[in-house]
Structure 1
Amino acid sequence: MKIVVVGGTGRIGSRVVADLTEHGHEVLAAAPSTGVDALTGEGLTDALTDAAVVVDLSASPSFDVTAVREFVTTSTTNLISAEREAGVKHHLALTIVGTNRPQEIPYFAAKAVQENLVRSSGLPYTLVHATQFFGFFGSIADVSTEGSVVRLPGALVQPMAAEDVAAAVARAAAGGPRGDIEVAGPRQLGLDEFVRRGLTFRDDPRAVVRDDAAPYFGAQVGERTLLPIEGAEIAPTTFEQWLARTQPPVG
């Protein structure tokens, strides 16, 4: 079975390509560096020839919400059009836990645009909603820092390792369309505790203070907004295991 992984040279994409190849699939890593650009449409027709599955792991080069919305709208529309012409039987995209429930996070709203385009495309699809990656604790801290203090709510998260995300995407790509599914790490943590543990590991001197009125990427979130639904696939790697195998800071 031929599987095209759009964004197949990135952090998650390269792992997905490796996993699928190891299991005997014909896999094409599609990215601008390999001559395939979902944003412009360049190379899509040739790349999708004889493809049974397209995995969309493409990501906007900017986190500006307007730029993300424009990127996902254009790239997803181009992919869907090319998939229809090629007779692709399964479209899979990676997205985020929490986008399809009440919340006001601007980035989530942009990703929801992508999800709705996929759902309304008429193509058989899987949307893999993943929780926050362990490695994102630094970015969460940076956008939540005031001086030397990081203010974060105690809203619960169930973060997971990037390699576990890739494994879940590869499994879903190798199977049939499943609609919306969710994957998550094995343990719940408050956002403040999650970031505090990560910064402590890095010997980062910033103090993390729980403030339930503090925003998370531009919006207030409820205690359970970012948690997976009951029945979500649970990945094996804990935050402690991930930290233990992460290179510690120097000095």
Structure 2
Amino acid sequence: MSYLDELEKLLRERGVAPEWIRATTDDLAAFMAEGGTDPEEEFGPVAEFADDLTGEGCGTGSATGPGTETLVWGADAFESPARMNEMGAQGWEVDRVDPRGRFVSHRGEHPQTWEYRQESALGSRERARTADRLASEGWEPCGHYFVFAYFKRARAALVGPRAELTERPEPARKRFFWSLPGLAVTAIALVVGVTGLFGLAQTLRAGDTADRVATLSGALAGAATGVAAMTLVFWLLFKLFAKVRNR
């Protein structure tokens, strides 16, 4: 039996809704297909992973108990911290971040408020160091995506019974939230990409076969060099940013 088959079986035994199981296993299958990773190495032993997904054994309540609601939503990196804390104030607990960067959350029958923070962490070792640094303040990991790690903390640990909600506010109908910086970065990336492709197409159309081959080869070599240079610059800038932000 494969890892996902075993996970699906364990989730069914824990009473998880079939729709949620199907969506979760589909996301995990796509993630593993893209990355070619070993699921046990990436997610840990299947039984423990099933416990993490359902909230069992972690002291934060079950994600599948009576009266439990589930919510999957997303936001760009600039907007995530504010939106996570807004959702946390409504009683939504983030269980994990799925392969698409969406926050998989639940709200129990007797919800309480949650706090969240987004940290810059490049790689598993940096995430582990960040988790160790924040553990003394009551923060626990609740997922990661790209170069960001996410942490949650129950407000009850700070204010006691006042963290319990007497009402269950309805979440916004939107399921993805953009910030102005996020829209600007996305727009610039699209403009640069489209402009580059248009210029390459015009050059290829104007030349003969030999010129086209030479142009295409040069473009591919230039693109590879540019990507490598941008990756290096991004990595250096990110390390500097993370060092300043996380100190």
TM-score tier by shorter-chain length is under 0.3
TM-score, length-normalised on structure 1?
Answer: 0.24
TM-score, length-normalised on structure 2?
Answer: 0.24
Relative contact order: is structure 1 or structure 2 higher (C-alpha 8 Å, sep ≥ 6)? 1
Indicate the structure with greater helix content.
2
